[in-house]
Amino acid sequence: MAKDKVFLYDTTLRDGSQSRSISFSLEDKLNILRKLDDMGFDYVEGGWPNPTHELDRLFFEEAARMDLKHARPAAFGSTRRPGIKASEDGLLQALVDAKSPVITIFGKTWDLHVTKVIRTTLEENLAMITDSVAFLKDNCGEVMYDAEHFFDGWKNNRDYSLKTLEAAVKGGADWLILCDTNGGMMPDETAAITEEVCKAFDVKIGIHGHNDTACAVANSLVSVQAGARQVQGTINGFGERCGNTDLTAVIPGLELKYGYETIGKKRVSQLVSLSRYVDEVANQHANPRRPYVGAYAFAHKAGAHIDGVLKEPTSFEHMPPETVGNARSFTLSDQAGGSLIVSKIAKYFPNVDKKDPLVRALLVKVKEMEAEGYQFEAGEGSFRLLVEKELGRYTEPFSCEGFRVYEEQSAVRTKELSAEATIKVICKGEEFHTAAEGDGPVNAMDNAIRKALTNFYPGLSTMGLVDYKVLVINGADGTSAKVRVIIESADEEESWGTVGVSTNIIEASWIALVDALNYKLLKDGLA
């Protein structure tokens, strides 16, 4: 292991989903796994695949079929229960059955938890740790031991906390992860304790922080300086209570400030895109004040600041914004975001020139749409269509002349609402007026438009809608607020997102739905 390599362990799919208002579908979790794999993350914790967590069990089944290049999925669980053998513990067996290349289990390090929470003896707790790790190590390639409440345990009973780590090492743990589970540690004491542990054990050490004192990122950075070589956290700091260590801040801190190797500088320049993508999938409003990746991270309003930045960027910026994929912006200026948008265009047109009049027109269009509420990080399909249209490379394969949607409920209260959509479409010079029912208005519209188009484009029958999300853009406007609809579609080859914005949720859904169909035809060479 290279001295300057720090391994990244993402737990957005488990710890992140414990955040209030966040709930991931199976497709959400798989999409985030793909994204993190593309970004070069080392480990992605997928959840706790026990008999009551069917979603997590399915996640590991699907993850095993994926062709991952970097990320190793990790299944999460706990040590065996007191008084039984590890091989007889159903929860441990469920971890083995998940067939994940990595298993992470937590155990009690704080003697208070041993005697007051799980109510067993200190000796039995040590046996539980050793037995569980050994059982899993016999059935899995890599086992990590999360020392839960490690720092609180250390401060309460240093000798016993060290014995719990020794028990994990005795069982064959590949990593010892020091957890600040209550999130109450400060950087100076975190660094000192981590350094002692690193000197005491010839095993790789990691850090898992929570942000209850707003120190999770700082604690992670100083732990690495003290010898830790793995950082656990979540994208955008999602997590229970005040959240977990925000990896979008840790990564540039390690890579750009301290010179450690994490995902490489090229991928660090995609952090803004990653942050926005996870926000969209999690259906969360992006925090514009996030360090490094927030929309305001390199925004300038004060006149003296703007003057200084225009003359010498380093005068008011701690680093070039493009190194993390962000862009400098000025309030009441049209200069914000240009480089970021051009970099997105370059994905499809490598030789794009920012000075090209067509590109300039596209930049203006994108900024207008973003001002209306559009965000394209989870809507790459819509962004690709927009680029093609604005650069004059796209011919509409069909046009929609209008649609009507209505729902009806029978007099019997137990009956569900039925939805029906009628749509008028012109395709290849012919006009079609079709109607179809559905489980809801979006499904009805989807069924109706496909009914009109599949005779001309049979390939549309191979795609399906796999996810649907609605985000209120400005809740202060109440029921008249704009909403952003994200539709995730997929065929046998890939999945793509499309986006629609309107004060009318049906219209926003329609925009995203039509984009989904158009993108399918574009990628099939039919548009």
Mean pLDDT comparison of 17-26, 96-105, 279-288, 348-357, highest-scoring range? 96-105
**Distance of CA 115 to CAs 79, 125, 294, Å?**
16, 9, 44
Q: What is the mean pLDDT of the chain?
A: 90
303 has a pLDDT exceeding 60: no
Inter-residue contact 448 to 436 (CB < 8 Å): yes
205 has a pLDDT exceeding 80: yes
Q: How confident is the model at residue 449 (pLDDT cuts 50, 70, 90)?
A: very high
335 has a pLDDT exceeding 50: no
Instruction: Compare 356 and 212 and report the one with higher pLDDT.
Output: 212
Taking the C-alpha atoms of residue 44 and residue 372, their distance in angstroms, rounded to an integer, is 35
What torsion do the CA atoms of 138, 139, 140, 143 make, to the nearest 10 degrees? -50
How high is the pLDDT of residue 364? Answer: 82
The region, left, alpha or beta by phi > 0 then psi within -120 to 50, assigned to residue 337 is: left
Residues 6+ apart with CB under 8 A from 76: 11, 14, 45, 46, 47, 48, 103, 104, 105, 106
For residue 33, which amino acid is it?
L
Inter-residue contact 180 to 219 (CB < 8 Å): yes
Q: What is the pTM of this model?
A: 0.75
Nearest-CA neighbor of 76 among 21, 165, 13? Answer: 13
Instruction: Compare 419 and 214 and report the one with higher pLDDT.
Output: 214
Range of lowest pLDDT (111-120, 258-267, 467-476): 467-476
337 has a pLDDT exceeding 60: no
pLDDT tens digits along 30-40: 999 999 999 99
Instruction: Compare 401 and 313 and report the one with higher pLDDT.
Output: 401
Inter-residue contact 268 to 252 (CB < 8 Å): yes
193 has a pLDDT exceeding 50: yes
In angstroms and rounded to an integer, the radius of gyration of the C-alpha atoms of the chain is 26
Beta strand 7-10 pairing with 430-438: unpaired
338 has a pLDDT exceeding 60: no
Q: Percent of the chain at pLDDT above 70?
A: 93
Inter-residue contact 225 to 258 (CB < 8 Å): yes
DSSP 43-69: EEEEE--STT-HHHHHHHHHHHTS--S
Instruction: Compare 231 and 280 and report the one with higher pLDDT.
Output: 231
pLDDT tens digits along 44-87: 999 999 888 999 999 999 999 999 999 999 999 999 999 999 99
Map residue 243 onto helix, strand or coil: coil
Domains and CATH numbers, the chain: 7-281 (3.20.20.70), 298-334 (4.10.430.20), 399-523 (3.30.160.270)
Inter-residue contact 75 to 100 (CB < 8 Å): yes
Work out the average pLDDT over 108-124: 94
Work out the average pLDDT over 13-21: 93
Work out the average pLDDT over 167-194: 98
Q: CB 256: neighbour CB atoms within 10 A?
A: 18
How high is the pLDDT of residue 334? Answer: 40
281 has a pLDDT exceeding 50: yes
336 has a pLDDT exceeding 60: no
